[in-house]
Structure 1
Amino acid sequence: MRLSEPPTPLETQATLLLVDDEPNVTAALRRILRNRPYRVLTAQSGEQALSLMEADPVDLIVSDARMPGMDGATLLREVYARWPACIRIFLTGHNDIDTTIKAINEGKIYRYLGKPWHDAEVLQVIEQSLAYQYAERERLRLQELTHAQNLELQDLNESLERRVRERTAELAATAQLLEHANQELERGYVTATEVFSSLINQRLPQSRQTNQKVIHLIQAFCQAQKLPEEEARNLTMAAALYNIGKLTWRDEMLALPADHLSKEQRDRFRDYPRIGQSLLMALDPAQDAAVLIRHHQERWDGTGYPDGLSGDAIPMGARLLKLAVDTIEMEMGMIQARPIPRPDALKLIAQSAGRSYDPVLCPAFIDAATGLSEDRTPLDASILVLGSHALEPGMIMMKKLYSGSGTLLLSEGKILNQRLIERLQELEHNGDEAFQFHVRRPAPEELDD
């Protein structure tokens, strides 16, 4: 919330009210003020002055002490009671000490001027009075602004605390579920890598969470080409972690499509594959995948980065990873400002074969990606799609389960037990989510085991 800046004294026209029962006095004061940027009103009695002020806001009033009917002290007392922000100046003779004291005590006057006056003194007193009034209004404005900002900060703190509580509850529930995933993690580094990939998604906006889609394309290609298990495993790990280097970026850069980046941001963008490899240096099982991550932005014609490799000098897995990453990022509007449907994205891929992409690898990749939906898990009669309340102990997970924020909760092949089912139901309740579970009942021989 922001308040508009106030006008300075030179940008606004102050309204002055001169009150005296003698017209020649108000006329003399008017002459003194004629070259000043003030709007001047006059009144010949206290009653007339109050009527004018009821109809027209006044910034400063100058009132004579002695007037028939309502005297100046009484008038200024009434002005103070009704319009306390109006500056009050008392005009008095040297013999009106009692009236002056009354005006000071009851009318809370800012200054008083004696008769006869000096023109320069009148101008100085009025200018100083209006400067004081401006400073007081500015103080009140800043006080109001500070109050509004404090309220806004309080609301923000409450919102952040609420979000922290919600995220803490989700992470606590996730941590409990991860305890039950230890056996699955021991089955191989690929599963562990996908867990780490889902944690990366906690840092990325939901519209930029590409890892699972890239993994899906890579696995479809590996299955279609019947690649060796080790090669498929390295490709899957690289797909899960290819954007780990982006975690060093600021939030605003994460949300921008590539063609909207500034020169400085483009330089930082071009460095993320190298940073990704560096972050994985200490993980021995990820070294082959780290090489693919480093080179997945190289281009067939040698114009890529970070090393400017070309043709067969680019590792085959890196060439494949680039095809999958570019397809998904085009679909999600991360390369250009608008999302591109998969058929159109694949056409652009084909058009760039021989420049950006391996011309031999392109057709095989396009065949594997064509018609592949985001979720193409084949279901047969033995596989059930159930809600959490229909789960039974002993059922086997046939598809990985992710939270709404992208965290991997259960891996494929996990055998459910009663305690785990209750944890899942609790997670749904606390997180206001509804999961779908692809499961099957165990075969008799599995029960015997």
Structure 2
Amino acid sequence: MEEQSTPTSTHRPKVLLVDDEEPILNSLRRLLRGQPYDVLLATSGAQALELLEQHPVDLVMSDARMPNMDGATLLTHVRQRYPQTTRIMLTGYADPTAIIKAINDGQIDRYISKPWNDEELLLTLRQALEHQHLERERERLERLNRAQNDQLKLLNSTLEKHVAARTAELQQTADMLDLAYEELKHSYVTGTEVFSLLANLRLPPAKQTNRQIIELVRAYCKAHSLDEASSRDLTMAAALYNIGKLSWPDNMMVTPADLLRHTDRDLYRDYPKQSESLLMTLDPMKDAARLILHHQERWDGSGFPDRLKGEAIPLGARLLKLAVDFVELQCGLILERHMNSDEALLYLRQYAGKLYDPDLIEDFIKVCATFLSDVTLADPTVKVLSTRELAAGMILARNLNADNGMLLLNAGKILSGPLVDKLIAFEAMEGGKYKVFVKVPEEVQALLEAQG
């Protein structure tokens, strides 16, 4: 026996009512007339199972006591064959055994006693179907979220390759970034990479720092086994630390901080706060934004914007300052002179306890030595000497450049007495003060010790 209360629709749920007493079914049919779902009727468990094979059913409400196949047995079959179908027991008997069987074997969602209250029965059906709809919607959204995450992972793995292929032409790069950002706008991690690249477009290639700082911070996090959340926040902070500089005029973007004057210096000191303000509206970026806000604080309390001192500065901000200054010193964004990697590390070591956390310096130098092939400072055989400390027989560990960038001597050059004298004279003529990275052979070291 089958009846449908209203025309079917792909969006209307189906309810199957099962009872061996047709008057009961007729009463339920009249009660449910006009409800926003389609109704199927069955007078036995066997007929109900046949209807379930023919129609997708969202909810089954069955009488407990029926000949041949009782309600608990029917609902057990429904659970086994159609686990997504909601199951309700309708019973007119105080039969704990039947109810327990229905709960344990059929895993029913609700049971309703006869005689029922019309309003309560309608409310129970409506709530059961709404719960089922919400559960299905939750599962659909989870599937959609997994699919989107898989797509984002694929896009993220190829993003650097796409960017590298288009950096030759500024407009093509900008178009690609616009498209990438639109596709990845719901992924804040990937979004940091996009913003980082956008910031770099304001700078000439020699002044672009973000990628180097990101990779250096990642290397430090890996070497020290930082937890995932801290590594993620540091990486995002490294990618976007200078986003507050985008409002600067072009000439200020490439001017060393040491040469800024008056209003430009005020603007410079405001950029960490400006960067933080731009990111604080993004809830997942709040911790990274805090690191950005304080990455120009100094260990002795003379930094900005809040003049924090020592361990009051967040650890991630202290590490970020080391990475930023190390890279920017080499790009000429802090001092007018471009330093090489060893000179930059020597500068960091020189200002440990004043600008930088003294407990981080040596670990940072070790990471740089492992990560960068041109760092010699971590080599115990390498010494950093002034020109007047040089001696014949010492070997240059790296190129020696004048303050104006001119190459004076190549790495590997063996120093002689006359050559040392020429370096001292040239240094005096320039008014500079060189730091020379040399290796000292054992015989030269022994001679120096004998002399003095």
The reply to whether TM is greater than 0.5 is: no
TM-score (norm 1): 0.43
TM-score (norm 2): 0.43
Structure 1 or 2, whichever has the larger Rg, is: 1
Whose relative contact order is higher, 1 or 2, with alpha carbons under 8 Å and at least 6 apart?
Answer: 1
